[in-house]
Amino acid sequence: MSAPLLELRDVAKGFPVRDALGRRRGAVRAVDGVSLIVPKGSVLAIVGESGCGKSTLGRLALRLIEADQGQILFEGEDLRGLSARALRARRRDMQLIFQDPFASLDPRMTVEQAVAEPLRLHGIVPRAQEAQRVAELLSRVGLRPELARRWPHEFSGGQRQRIAIARALASEPKLIIGDEPVSALDVSVQAQVVNLLQDLIRELGLTFVLISHDLGVVRHIADRVAVMYLGRIVEEGPTAQVFGAPRHPYTRALLAAVPGQGHAHAPLLEGDIPSPINPPSGCRFRTRCPYAQPLCAEQVPPMEGTSHLAACHFQQNLPPALVGQDAETGGERLRRLQAYFTDQTQKQGELA
């Protein structure tokens, strides 16, 4: 594994919750002690349900919002220690692609102005070569350079997202974070944009962090996957292993929710995510976990493993996850296996 480009160490962020009179009534702990390593040239996906804090994590990593604690190391340098001016200069190396291409482009800037802006801000090419560079960038993302003088409102969602990608590439960044870059697009367009991203990652040697809830896209382009639940990472590992042999019950549930992915022994998710204002003690997934034990309420499970890590007290004891089997009959077998599992762990508890 090559040197990390981006490393998060115990990063946390809470948003104050105020009542009608503006008094502080606790905080939503959107991101709560996340540590991650993104090696240079790799693609890391962060997956999870909406509201789990994955978008917040992406913005914390770029210091678009300020973290409450932890370190954000970009090439070994803590972004949180930079002055406003130094941070602005550093932004050249890290870019964000937004979810909604209808909202992320300034409506009063032509395509050319939008794509040229990072060139100008960071003095990347002389003014005289600006137009030519913009044309190159546009053709790089599959748009005809003649469209440069048109306005964002004249384009479709897929085209706008291509413009946003061209803008993100303009400053020749080392890291790009894509916050659900295709989920606002038509399904027919999604695949094209995903393929474009994949080509760019491969050809430009980009380091990419993909924030997504679309496991199909993740499996397609990610080297590693981090699964987030209620502000914490619960499982992280190489994509093939996380998808093939998920260790955390939540990961299994997520995979089971994908049609046609039929994981046996996967708990089916019931109910909503608990309120992040007052999250469950111990393991945060325990309120929805079919394997939950008294220990889960008492201790926060640590991330365990070497390359493939999971935060579950019982990850060694869970029934093996079988991929691609009996999606239909899973329900009945699941119940029996769960009963068996509970039985076993209770016996173990009595022996101990």
Q: List contacts with another protein (CB under 8 A).
A: 62, 64, 88-89, 91-92, 95-96, 98-100, 103-110, 117-118, 121-122, 144, 146-147, 149-151, 153-159, 164, 167, 171
What are the backbone angles phi and psi of residue 267, rounded to the nearest 5°?
-70, 145
Of 195 and 307, the one with the shorter C-beta distance to another protein is 195
What are the residues whose beta carbons fall under 8 Å from the beta carbon of 325, sequence distance 6 or more? 262, 264
CB of 38 to another protein, least distance (A): 17
What are the residues whose beta carbons fall under 8 Å from the beta carbon of 212, sequence distance 6 or more? 45, 46, 47, 178, 180, 181, 182, 183, 218
Of 67 and 266, the one with the shorter C-beta distance to another protein is 67
What are the residues whose beta carbons fall under 8 Å from the beta carbon of 192, sequence distance 6 or more? 142, 158
Q: Which of 96, 1, 95 is closest to 307 using CA atoms?
A: 1
CB of 230 to another protein, least distance (A): 24
Task: Give the CA count within 13 Å in the CB-facing half-sphere of 10.
Answer: 3
CB of 165 to another protein, least distance (A): 12
What are the residues whose beta carbons fall under 8 Å from the beta carbon of 53, sequence distance 6 or more? 30, 31, 32, 228, 230, 231, 276
Of 32 and 112, the one with the shorter C-beta distance to another protein is 112
CA angle 194, 99, 236 (to 5 degrees): 70
Of 110 and 345, the one with the shorter C-beta distance to another protein is 110
Which residue is listed with tokens 């899973």? 330
Of 42 and 171, the one with the shorter C-beta distance to another protein is 171
What are the residues whose beta carbons fall under 8 Å from the beta carbon of 307, sequence distance 6 or more? 237, 238, 241
Of 99 and 251, the one with the shorter C-beta distance to another protein is 99
CB of 250 to another protein, least distance (A): 29
What are the residues whose beta carbons fall under 8 Å from the beta carbon of 76, sequence distance 6 or more? none
CB of 199 to another protein, least distance (A): 20
Of 122 and 220, the one with the shorter C-beta distance to another protein is 122
What are the residues whose beta carbons fall under 8 Å from the beta carbon of 351, sequence distance 6 or more? none
CB atoms within 10 A of CB 47: 26
Beta strands across the sheet bearing 69-74: 24-39, 4-18, 69-74, 77-78
Of 159 and 239, the one with the shorter C-beta distance to another protein is 159
CB of 84 to another protein, least distance (A): 8
CB of 104 to another protein, least distance (A): 4
CB of 62 to another protein, least distance (A): 6
